[in-house]
Structure 1
């Protein structure tokens, strides 16, 4: 079943990208299907290497990539960072970019596809429940803590976009993480509940009713309903009301597309998403906290809100990358360099 799904996803993505049309970071030209500029193309002695791995989490096969630093010696003890990917993203996109760049700074890193998403197992596909995404982060910590060379006492966490919101939730109680950082944090519960920039406050009950009906339909064995996925034309994308979505379609569907990446999620997931909030109990985060966002990001309000509420993190910093939008922190070299520079200093001090 899993292989059938992946093959179907691959063929659908190939069709959507178009025959002969390559993105700026073409996964088809990379042996590890990595979709970011500067990605590893082969493992070489003395350089950063990538190792695809699979492990079990609650009975499901989880697909992950482990990055090891140059001149890695399994008998040594390395600081390590768990990287959680954005909503709709997979380990081969921005999460892989930051995992590789941190490995270049001397860290062992891991990034895994969320359960029910990407190359990881789980049915129905594209289920997106907060409890599962938080458990994914705990699961990455479980696995990488047993990996040769990992210093368990120096384990950090990095969450990007939706993975940032779930990282805030995971770090509240998982004190194996000695420090936590986010990039362009996206509070999935708030957005699914209230709409982006709180633009759908008047339709909360209507959308909850739709989610309830979708759950009932699944329980009856009928077709699984999905939200959030659309094959939009360039003209339709240009008319989207928020820059995050306009640039997001460009990133995920064109320049950095990957066959396992999709915007869609099961409509029934909204039953869980709409009662979740990344800032619930955020005062439990006592670890050092770094939150990074672009000055031009229309999602900045979520980072600012969470940062203000993180009252238990006495060693905390909000770092603004001037000129960057939400999606531009995923791939624009000068903005990625700025984020990596800050992350390297942060983890160097806290791990």
Structure 2
């Protein structure tokens, strides 16, 4: 399956990738939304008595971060609200599924924040599309920093939700950041494990080869400033149809077709693999002592990662594995019947534990 194997690309293909994805957004067009949100039911304007969206920026380690804060209906800054930080999937941006869950959880009474990762989306940072675990974890700390000072937020009641790769990074952040009082993941993806071993352990025989490739890429950055990328720059309908795994086939449809956004990309700097391959979201899971809810679809081909992480969370004071019957990984991002079930479960979990 050639599309699962990282490919090399030069920076110039980024514009081609973004153009193609925008052209193929068949069901939902970000051009029709002033906030460029691409999920169904997205806010198009702030109306009295409804959830409001507040685009914000802030500095994190000298990098400007672009984020959206959602406030509940009839929000009153003189009152006190619990808050949730939401970490987006790998390759995703705040305008996609992370924004969907931020909006719907705001409808349940939470102040929510979703930010584009540093070096990605509308946030700053060079080289673009750097995808290092330490940076993604720092992004979560940064969201907690910002939202804890937002008017009306009770800093003692902050929870976290991580989706896909954001789920793995949220688990890591929760190990050390005890400002996060309750932790939830949805369709958790262990980025380090997959970059090291391949999806479903399909690349165990090429770890050293890929580390050498990553090291060489970093050397190119140092010597002549050339940025080399891995990932999928673009894809045809035929290639999508031939993709065997649900995660990647449905993921290509989601990111390149139905919910495409010009800031979203499957590319990442090849040198990032030096950090990714040596990292694992489940290392030191016993440091999580907060309440923990892990959600995955029963048909998700990524569920093995949620199962492993859940088993290792031996010190969580209150943990639960919640399985969405019939759902695949990507279907939990958008399918209404699954989203409503997940939001109800998340709302109950956070209301009980915050």
Q: TM-score w.r.t. structure 2 length?
A: 0.95
Structure 1 partner of 2:19: 15
Does the 8 Å CA contact 2:25/2:260 hold for their aligned counterparts?
no
Does the 8 Å CA contact 1:293/1:326 hold for their aligned counterparts?
yes
Q: CA deviation at 1:230?
A: 2.9
Structure 2 partner of 1:290: 293
Tell me, yes or no, if structure 1 residue 245 matches structure 2 residue 258: no
Structure 2 partner of 1:234: 237
Structure 2 partner of 1:168: 171
Q: Which runs of 5+ in 1 are unaligned?
A: 1-7
Does the 8 Å CA contact 1:13/1:258 hold for their aligned counterparts?
no
Higher relative contact order at CA 8 Å, sep ≥6: structure 1 or structure 2?
Answer: 2
Secondary structure at the residue paired with 1:220? helix
Q: CA deviation at 1:297?
A: 0.3
Secondary structure at the residue paired with 1:254? helix
Counterpart Cα distance in 2 of 1:44 and 1:285: 39
Q: CA deviation at 1:14?
A: 6.5
Which residue of 149, 171, 181 maps to 1:178? 181
Tell me, yes or no, if structure 1 residue 314 matches structure 2 residue 287: no
> Are the structure 2 counterparts of residues 279 and 22 from structure 1 closer, same or farther at C-alpha, using a change threshold of 3 Å?
closer
Does the 8 Å CA contact 1:12/1:259 hold for their aligned counterparts?
no
Which residue of 208, 213, 218 maps to 2:211? 208
Q: Which runs of 5+ in 2 are unaligned?
A: 1-11
Tell me, yes or no, if structure 1 residue 63 matches structure 2 residue 66: yes
Tell me, yes or no, if structure 1 residue 266 matches structure 2 residue 269: yes
Which residue of 151, 162, 178 maps to 1:159? 162
How does 1:1-351 map onto structure 2 within 5 Å?
12=16, 15-17=19-21, 22-351=25-354
Q: TM-score w.r.t. structure 1 length?
A: 0.95
